[in-house]
């Protein structure tokens, strides 16, 4: 696997030798984009932070991998933490930050010793004089959102705030800050060192009704049938969920290009595939996912705080057979409303799953109406 | 830059938010969580507008060159309506509050919400504090009280607890408000758009006393009430309504109407004497005023070293002094049993409600009403406030000086004390009696004056956050005045709500013009003050005044 290739501090050496501008140029030509889900060009982000004037800058590695059905970052931390740490050091030297943070998901605290060992090993060997601090989250999904993550490191309530100002201008303690995903930073180190590094190879987290769940490295526009061949579903596949926030679509053998996925009103940014077979009702899944979003809403803005719980209550009503056509209409309206008017990414995508299941699997809902 | 606002091309600055731009162009946009002077949080999502086809919150979005803003499209109205519906569903269904100052009610009228399709889900207990009452069932989580408490007052008594739909405003560790380090300033009340926080009302008790024929009910009004009460009856900010206020209170049935300004003059006599005795003894400095009960609570909770070092003045606040004098001096003179006197203070303040229940205060005041409650009382008796003829305070304890009046604005206590301390200390007449350096709305103001060759450095701060800043550098000063509310008492937690900096400035102007219009402007020139010392107290800081006009405070927990 490409992601497991070790760089052994050579990438950092190269980055220091060629300087920040050249380093960023390499990332730009290699076409590295954010792997956390949004897909923002990494070179651009680093350039913004480099150009922000400040006495102090920070780098944060976002290892708060909270998305249900996503576990690629865990895979990297388990198998190639040294390259990850090197990637952080490269980012820090590029924007001349003296301190970096790794924000590790609370549920991953068992990875702490391994990660700490790698941090100690690589930072000492590198002699770059950059300190890396490991911060462990307390289990909130919202803290994967970069502004909420920053608040959490500062010791405040983990709630997002609006952008701009973007973290690259005003981030941690109001200083320019790069927030990058684990996979992005690891890839950055590899992209700088290896000439044959391929930006199209992605880590897919495959789970659900399959016999061989796990992390697969595949081209990002792989056909869904290829994934199924590897993961071996138990029964006939009914639908796939792209994580929870990405929504769901009926199983079709399509290439996972952004256009194709968007055509089904889904997002597949972090490449997580949850396979659902014929034995499951989409309504039941909607209930579970709605519960997840209502529970994980931070409570800051009205549509998400009040809306997600109302959506959950309606789905529950439908499941109990008490709902009418009117409720379905309200659900649709709520779904659109929460997506359009919420403050952060969580709220904006909290009802994607509802809207897509109402679009593709309306029958599952309607058969339970009164 | 040029943008299109509702299809009209306009010129606007880059550093203005869409909300400010709309306001400048005469377009009103409903808001709930937005609060002038604080960084917008964009929580309530009611101020939605359409920017290039996308819904954005006007309070937190800056325009882009050439963008097109639409403020009232069907899409915008639908989204606003939905958010209001969601808010209303969380808000208590039986909310009886329907007053014009309630922002949510105003928005409801404008937005045309036809019905609420969701059932109530929350049920919290009321938090009945001794001065401030919180009703979580009315709360809509806009966060203005939390931000006010943290950013303006720097008290941090309340914050959000829990997450998602369980998120609600709560004091530390979800205790009751009276069990935590809350200074009861009531600023949260002023900023609540839905009336979920209010003062503990004493209207019922006061009306009951008024009906009791055996009781002599005496009312006393604070310096700042005369410049704010008019606002409750639709008059512009800064209207001086002293005469109407006295007339209205008499009409309500109070036997006597006294002026707390006289209490303020008494406070100055004691405080100036205390300060001069410290100058003689060379310390302890700085001496800090204790007129503001909010600040006293803040000191008791967070600044224990001020008690250890004896920095606090021992003087009671003006209305407590006057209350005591009413029940001792006045009662004796008139031959009334003090037990038959009910003293009601009209105060701009919620912390005063707590102050009068302090055991160490042995307070002479029975009930404290806020300005808002006073207006309610006047409305209760169906009095046409605006058209009342002016009347004067009862002269027995109702003659006051300009020094007493300016207590109502930040820096006023300091100015009044300096006027007297200078003349007491030097024995000369103070020529320039206005201390302009200590006036105005700057957070911290300072100046110096020379008394008998000694330079006295003084400073005044208003608002909790500024008080904290001034406390950091208190060692530089001899005399410090602190008011817990922004603007001083004119911006107090019991005043008419939703005051902007402009209204505060207008109220302060009215206070200073009232001072200027008076012949007597120094506390020690007040004939009644002289009379009280001659007939009753003896001298400032004497044995009798120590007993009834002074008090000492205790340390309280920081949490």
Q: What is the pLDDT of residues B228-268, one digit of tens each?
A: 999 999 899 989 999 999 999 999 999 999 999 999 999 99
Residue B363 pLDDT level (bands cut at 50, 70, 90): confident
* Phi, then psi, of B507 in degrees rounded to 5: -65, -40
Q: Given an 8 Å threshold on Cβ–Cβ distance, is B55 in contact with A340?
A: yes
Task: Measure the N-to-C terminal CA separation of chain B; round to a whole number of Å.
Answer: 50
Residue A261 pLDDT level (bands cut at 50, 70, 90): confident
The CA-atom distances, in angstroms, between A37 and each of A4, A62, A268, B446 are 21, 12, 7, 54
**Closest chain A residue to the Cα of B49, Cα to Cα:** A341
Catalytic annotation on B489? yes
Name the residue among B58, B106, B294 with its Cα closest to residue B189.
B294
Tell whether the model's pLDDT for residue B397 goes beyond 90: no
Query: In this structure, are residues B145 and B192 in contact, taking their beta carbons and an 8 Å threshold?
Result: yes
Residue B99 pLDDT level (bands cut at 50, 70, 90): low
Cβ-nearest to B48 among A162, A309, A341: A341
pLDDT above 90 covers what percent of chain B?
57
Token pair in block for residue B111? 């937005």
Q: What is the pLDDT of residues B407-434, one digit of tens each?
A: 999 999 999 999 999 998 888 888 888 9
Rounded CA separation B460/B12 (Å)? 38
State whether residue A162 sits within 8 Å of chain B by CB: yes
Q: Given an 8 Å threshold on Cβ–Cβ distance, is A306 in contact with B166?
A: no
Which residue in B11, B74, B360, B472 is the catalytic one? B360
Residue A171 pLDDT level (bands cut at 50, 70, 90): very high
Question: For residue A330, which residues of chain B lie inside 8 Å, CB to CB?
Answer: 117
Q: Which residues on neighbouring strands pair with residue B171, listed in sequence order?
A: B158
**Closest chain B residue to the Cα of A301, Cα to Cα:** B43
Rounded CA separation A59/B86 (Å)? 39
Token pair in block for residue A119? 């941090």
Domains in chain B, CATH or no CATH each? 2-86 (3.10.20.740), 126-199 (3.30.70.20), 203-549 (3.40.50.1780)
Using a CB cutoff of 8 Å and minimum separation of 24, what contacts does B445-449 make? B445/B410, B445/B411, B446/B477, B449/B418, B449/B422
Domains in chain A, CATH or no CATH each? 2-193 (3.40.50.11540), 201-277 (3.10.20.600), 282-366 (1.20.1440.230)
Tell whether the model's pLDDT for residue B303 goes beyond 90: yes
pLDDT at B466: 94
Q: What is the pLDDT of residues A50-104, one digit of tens each?
A: 999 899 999 999 999 988 889 999 999 999 999 999 999 999 999 999 999 999 9
Which run of H or of E encompasses B424?
helix B412-426
Cβ-nearest to B117 among A305, A330, A343: A330
Query: In this structure, are residues A178 and A192 in contact, taking their beta carbons and an 8 Å threshold?
Result: no
Catalytic annotation on B374? no
Residue B101 pLDDT level (bands cut at 50, 70, 90): low
Cβ-nearest to B167 among A164, A305, A330: A305
Lowest-pLDDT range of A45-54, A114-123, A125-134, B92-101: B92-101
Catalytic annotation on B360? yes
pLDDT at B95: 65
């Amino acid at each position: 696997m490409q992601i497991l290739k070790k760089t052994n501090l050579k990438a950092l050496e190269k980055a220091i030798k060629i300087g920040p501008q050249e380093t960023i140029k390499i990332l730009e030509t290699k076409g590295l984009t954010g792997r956390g889900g949004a897909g923002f060009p990494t070179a651009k982000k680093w350039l913004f932070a480099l150009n922000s004037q400040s006495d102090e800058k920070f780098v944060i590695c976002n290892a708060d991998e909270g998305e249900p059905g996503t576990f690629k970052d865990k895979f990297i931390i388990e198998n190639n933490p040294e390259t990850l740490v090197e990637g952080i050091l490269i980012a820090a030297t590029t924007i001349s930050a003296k301190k970096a943070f790794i924000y590790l998901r609370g549920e991953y605290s068992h990875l702490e010793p391994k990660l700490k060992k790698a941090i100690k090993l690589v930072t000492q060997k590198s002699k770059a004089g950059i300190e890396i601090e490991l911060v462990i989250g307390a289990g909130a999904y919202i803290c994967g959102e970069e502004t909420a993550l920053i608040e959490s490191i500062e010791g405040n309530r983990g709630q997002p705030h609006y952008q701009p100002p973007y973290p690259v201008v005003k981030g941690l303690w109001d200083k320019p800050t790069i927030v990058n995903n684990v996979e992005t930073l690891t890839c950055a180190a590899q992209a700088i060192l290896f000439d044959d590094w391929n930006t199209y190879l992605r880590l897919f987290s495959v789970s659900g009704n399959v016999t061989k769940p796990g992390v697969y490295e595949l081209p990002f526009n792989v056909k869904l049938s290829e994934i199924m061949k590897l993961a071996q579903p138990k029964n006939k596949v009914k639908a796939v969920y792209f994580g929870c926030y990405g929504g769901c679509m009926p199983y079709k053998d399509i290439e996972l290009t952004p256009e194709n996925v968007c055509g089904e009103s889904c997002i597949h940014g972090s490449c997580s595939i949850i396979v659902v077979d014929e034995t499951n009702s989409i309504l039941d899944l909607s209930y579970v996912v709605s519960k997840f979003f209502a529970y994980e809403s931070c409570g800051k803005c009205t549509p998400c705080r009040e809306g997600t719980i109302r959506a959950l209550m309606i789905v529950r009503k439908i499941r109990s057979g008490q709902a009418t056509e009117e409720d379905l209409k309200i659900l649709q309206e709520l779904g659109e409303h929460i997506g359009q008017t919420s403050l952060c990414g969580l709220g904006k995508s909290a009802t994607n799953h509802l809207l897509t299941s109402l679009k593709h699997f309306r029958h599952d809902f309607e058969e339970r109406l009164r | 830059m040029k943008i299109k606002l509702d299809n009209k091309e306009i010129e606007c600055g880059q550093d203005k938010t869409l909300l400010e731009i709309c306001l400048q162009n005469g377009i009103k946009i409903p808001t709930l969580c937005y609060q002038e002077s604080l960084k917008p949080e964009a929580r309530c999502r009611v101020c939605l507008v359409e920017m290039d086809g996308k819904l954005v919150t006007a309070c937190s979005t800056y325009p882009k060159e050439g963008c097109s803003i639409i403020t009232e499209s069907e899409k915008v109205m639908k989204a606003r309506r939905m958010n209001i519906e969601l808010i209303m569903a969380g808000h208590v269904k039986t909310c009886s509050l329907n007053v014009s100052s309630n922002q949510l009610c105003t928005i409801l009228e404008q937005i045309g919400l036809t019905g609420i399709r969701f059932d109530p889900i929350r049920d919290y207990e009321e938090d009945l504090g001794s001065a401030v009452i919180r009703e979580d069932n009315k709360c809509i989580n806009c966060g203005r009280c939390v931000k006010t408490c943290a950013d303006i007052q720097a008290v941090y008594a309340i914050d959000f607890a829990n997450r998602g739909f369980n998120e609600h405003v709560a004091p530390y560790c979800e205790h009751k408000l009276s069990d935590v380090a809350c200074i009861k300033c009531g600023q949260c009340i002023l900023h609540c758009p839905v009336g979920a926080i209010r003062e503990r009302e004493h209207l019922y008790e006061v009306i009951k006393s008024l009906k009791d024929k055996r009781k002599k009910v005496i009312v006393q009004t604070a310096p700042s009430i005369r410049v704010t009460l008019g606002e409750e009856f639709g008059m512009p900010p800064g209207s001086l309504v002293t005469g109407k206020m006295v007339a209205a209170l008499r009409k309500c049935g109070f036997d006597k109407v006294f002026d707390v300004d006289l209490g303020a003059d008494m406070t100055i006599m004691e405080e100036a004497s205390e300060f001069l005795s410290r100058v003689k003894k060379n310390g302890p400095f700085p001496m800090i005023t204790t007129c503001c009960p909010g600040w006293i609570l803040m000191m008791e909770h967070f600044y224990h070293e001020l008690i250890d070092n004896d920095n606090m003045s021992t003087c009671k606040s003006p209305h407590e002094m006057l209350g005591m004098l009413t029940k001792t001096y006045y009662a004796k003179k008139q031959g009334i049993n003090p037990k038959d006197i009910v003293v009601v203070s009209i105060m701009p303040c919620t912390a005063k409600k707590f102050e009068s229940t302090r055991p160490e205060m042995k307070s002479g005041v029975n009930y404290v009403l806020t300005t808002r409650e006073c207006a309610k009382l006047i409305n209760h008796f169906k009095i046409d406030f605006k058209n009342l003829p002016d009347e004067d305070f009862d002269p027995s304890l109702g003659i006051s000086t300009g020094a007493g009046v300016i207590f109502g604005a930040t820096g006023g206590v300091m100015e009044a004390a300096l006027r007297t301390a200078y003349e007491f200390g030097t024995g000369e007449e103070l020529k320039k009696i206005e201390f302009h350096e200590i006036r105005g709305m700057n957070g911290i103001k300072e100046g110096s004056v020379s008394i008998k060759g000694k330079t006295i450095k003084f400073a005044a701060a208003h608002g909790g956050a500024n008080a904290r800043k001034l406390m950091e550098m208190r060692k530089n000063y001899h005399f410090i005045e602190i008011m817990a509310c922004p603007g001083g008492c004119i911006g107090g937690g019991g005043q008419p709500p939703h005051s902007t900096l402009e209204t505060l400035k207008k109220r302060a102007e009215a206070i200073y013009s009232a001072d200027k219009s008076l012949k007597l402007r120094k506390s020690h020139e007040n004939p009644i003050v002289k009379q009280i010392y001659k007939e009753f107290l003896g001298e400032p800081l004497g044995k009798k005044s120590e007993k009834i006009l002074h008090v000492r405070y205790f340390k309280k927990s920081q949490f």
